[in-house]
């Protein structure tokens, strides 16, 4: 072996994956196969995000996609996650993607998420307010270094009324207080609630690959806000760079437009079959 190559990737399971999604996973698979071919010992982790996230992830607004699917299909969030996880694993098998070594599920890492949030509060990077916990982006001067965004530009792009509990509109949610109708909830030091979308990856990746690992992959749409937030969380919690190299796959285009569920211009691998 020529050393260790740790690789991390995520998949959210609330709908069918389309071939644009699979293009990103094939890209990660080719990277892993190349490392294997060159003689590196690789350990790949692909998380299964079975806790949904908000529809407008940039400023933590909108309805949770997992719960939307659960309501539309008249199933529990757990049933939705179980069904679409099984379908996703079958889809990647069909295109001959090598299985990852680990497929951690977000719902089993809630204690690790809470531990990182508590550490961020202790280190002055996060603050509780009204049952929520927010990341204070002003506390992390390098916020924006991956995407090239500046705090000033982010604030200029803020839409609608800002959350009055936040110190700044761009502060993102680490833990969110549960509403009366929320189906997925956990006890926490800040009250009953659920994790923000970004904290899940910081918790699972470092739990399985350590405080420093080699490669983090994803689609180009993950650069901001998701991976930018992940850097702020992980480096804020551990006090040093965690990911050595970020690698992003560009979008698959259909008639010149990004293939996306929201655009309705997507097809599944089953249609190609």
d(CA 259, CA 54): 20
> Are residues 240 and 213 in contact, defined by beta-carbon separation less than 8 angstroms?
no
d(CA 202, CA 237): 9
0.85 exceeded by the pTM? yes
The maximal CA–CA distance of the chain, rounded, in angstroms, is 55
Q: What is the pLDDT of residues 184-227, one digit of tens each?
A: 899 999 999 999 989 999 999 999 999 999 999 999 999 999 99
Q: What is the pLDDT of residues 47-102, one digit of tens each?
A: 998 886 543 334 444 556 656 666 667 777 788 889 989 999 999 999 999 999 99
For the four alpha carbons of 237, 239, 242 and 246, in that order, the dihedral sign comes to positive
Q: What is the pLDDT of residues 109-162, one digit of tens each?
A: 999 999 999 999 999 999 999 999 999 999 999 999 999 987 777 665 556 677
Phi, psi at 4, each rounded to 5°: -120, 130
Place of tokens 């607004």: 61
Q: What is the pLDDT of residue 57?
A: 39
**Is the peptide bond preceding residue 225 cis, with omega within 30 degrees of 0?**
yes
Phi, psi at 6, each rounded to 5°: -90, 130
Q: What is the pLDDT of residues 6-63, one digit of tens each?
A: 787 777 777 889 999 999 999 999 999 999 999 999 999 999 988 865 433 344 445 5
d(CA 67, CA 80): 9
- In the DSSP assignment, the letter for residue 92 is H
């Amino acid at each position: 072996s020529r050393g260790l190559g740790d690789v991390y990737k995520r998949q959210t399971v609330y709908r069918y994956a389309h071939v644009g999604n699979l293009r990103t996973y094939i890209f990660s698979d080719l990277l892993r196969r190349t490392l294997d071919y060159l003689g590196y010992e690789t350990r790949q982790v692909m998380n299964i995000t079975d806790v949904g996230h908000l529809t407008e992830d940039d400023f933590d607004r909108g309805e949770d996609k997992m719960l939307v699917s659960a309501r539309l299909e008249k199933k529990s969030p757990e049933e939705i996650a179980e069904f679409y996880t099984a379908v996703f694993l079958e889809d990647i098998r069909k295109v001959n993607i090598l299985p990852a070594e680990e497929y951690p599920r977000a719902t089993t890492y809630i204690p690790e998420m809470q531990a990182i949030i508590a550490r961020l509060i202790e280190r002055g990077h996060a603050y509780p307010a009204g049952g929520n916990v927010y990341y204070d982006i002003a506390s992390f001067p390098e916020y924006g270094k991956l995407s090239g965004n500046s705090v000033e530009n982010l604030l200029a792009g803020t839409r609608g009324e800002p959350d009055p509990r936040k110190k700044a509109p761009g502060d993102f949610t680490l833990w969110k207080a549960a509403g009366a109708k929320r189906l997925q909830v956990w006890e926490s030091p800040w009250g009953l609630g659920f994790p923000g979308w970004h904290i899940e990856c910081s918790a699972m990746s470092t739990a399985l690959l350590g405080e420093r690992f080699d490669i983090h992959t994803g689609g180009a749409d993950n650069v901001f806000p998701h991976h930018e937030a992940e850097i702020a969380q992980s480096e804020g919690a551990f006090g040093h760079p965690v990911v050595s190299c970020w690698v992003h796959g560009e979008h698959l285009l259909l008639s010149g437009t990004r293939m996306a569920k929201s655009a309705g211009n997507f097809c599944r691998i089953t249609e190609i079959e």
